Structures are given as C-alpha cells and as structure tokens.
Structure 1
Amino acid sequence: MFDLVPFRKRNDDPFRQLVRSLNDTFDFAPLAPLHGSLQTFRTDIREQADKYAIEAELPGFGKDDVEVEMKDNYLTIRAKRQHEEEQKDEQNRVIRRERRSGEFVRRFYVDNVDEAGITAKLSDGVLKLDLPKKANTEPARRRIDIQ
C-alpha cells in the first residue's frame, strides 16, 4: 500500500517517455543510416606506473582491417569490415545474398604519452595497445610576491 503513487501511473515516467520517443524516432526506417553507420566495440583501459594499456575487442577483424592513429592527444581506433556472401542455384540465380559491412570507431583523449613508443598487437580478436607515458617532469614553481 505504501508504494502507491498518487495522481499518475508508475509507468508514466516523463523521462522514460522522452527516451522511448527518441528511440522510436531514430528507429524510423528512413533515418536508419543515421542510427547504425558507426558502431562501437568494447575496450578495457588500465593505467600502470609507466604506461596505459588498452585492450579492444575486435572479433573477426584482421590487422589489415584495423587502423590506429594518434593525433593531437587523441587515440583513434578504427576497424572496417567488408564481407559479402552469395549463394546461387543451378541456373546461376542468386537465392540468398548476405552483406555485412560497417565501420567501428572509438576515440580516446590521452595526455602525457610518448607517441613514438606506442605498440599494437592484434591476436585472437583482441587488439592490445601499450602507450608509454612520458618521463615524469615536475612543473616549475614560482613564488609570487604579494604587494
């Protein structure tokens, strides 16, 4: 009895209705290219004393399909997939065609990284990146006299 909500139903949460209407808008078929053109993948990022270690799940991608770029303190991982499968019958007519293609992109801001020492390895669908930190330098201190 204490969980009754007066003057409105419990499932009429305005925020939930807003999110639902936005999802319905972008699931509308003519807007489908906006919805799924760039996909994402899962990553783990660990900070260690001397480096940042990043592991990204990229199952089914080869090293020629993956691009890693560092520019203006932003690390960008981009993976592109282009796959076509086609089945034909005896008269050489297409009976089934499946195409899977897409681009997966993640971008991270990283500071204090030695760009020349970055290493990457792709093995068993996992991209492993090591981003070594720059030598730790203390900022110069200057005492300001108060007048």
Structure 2
Amino acid sequence: MVLEQITEAGKQIKGFAELPITAQVSVLYIEIEAARKLSIPLSAICDAMNLAGSTVTLRYLREALSVVRRRMKAQGIAPGAGPAPSAQTKSSTQQIVSSTTKPAILPVQSGNAETQSQTPKEARDQKAETYTSSATNNPLLRQHHKRKE
C-alpha cells in the first residue's frame, strides 16, 4: 500500500522523471519515510520510484535521502515531520515541485534576530558569557563568590 502511494505520487507530478533525483526524493520524502517506518527495504522503495518514472539506483537513493535529511535538519525541520501521506493532496504535491530544492515545510522562525545571524559557536559563547559575566545572573556562581569572601 505504501509503495503504491510512492508510485502514484510520483506519477501525479508533471515532469517527475526530468527532476533531479534529490528533488524526486524531496518531493516523495513523506511517503518514503512512512515506508521506512514500516521497515520496507530501500530496494523496494527504489523499485516503486522507478515505476513512477525515476531512474534512481539503490546507492543514489541512499545518498539522496541523506542529503534531504541533512537539508531538513539544517532548516530546523524534524525528519518525518509533516502531514501523513494520506493527507497530502495533489495541489500540495505540485507546490512542492515548484520549489524542488527546498522541502515544503518551512522552519519556525525564532523571535531573536540577533541569534539567527550568529554562528552556533558565537551563540554558545554569548550564552556562556551571560552566566559567567556577573555573579548576580547565576545563583551557583553567586554562592561560590560568597564562600570565597
């Protein structure tokens, strides 16, 4: 059933066969993850994609899945997040195709714009600085300073 959903979703997308393999995997990511949760082997998923018009090989499917997961993680999207495969409509599938290099789900924006422009190391250093700069900010540090006096 899940493999049929992969094949049908691929066939419904105009120009699916001409898309880069990574884009094909990105478009079908929700269905692929649903199949993986049911312990369906990648070889069967690869065959289902090939029935939809893809020319993906098993090895390249592994690599493309890795790339898509890494991109989603970089954007702050949890792998497997999103609607269930049965809830995905044809219009949302076409919307995904229009942005083939990005997943359809957008990350939640944080309220602090300054933190977003920093590298992770700079953000960690800034947070550490707030704890160690003043004894009044950190109760444990304040207690430690009282013992020294």
Normalising to structure 1: TM-score of the pair? Answer: 0.24
Identify the structure with the greater strand proportion: 1
Greater Cα radius of gyration, structure 1 or 2: 1
**TM-score, structure 2 normalization:** 0.24
Query: Which structure: greater helix fraction?
Result: 2
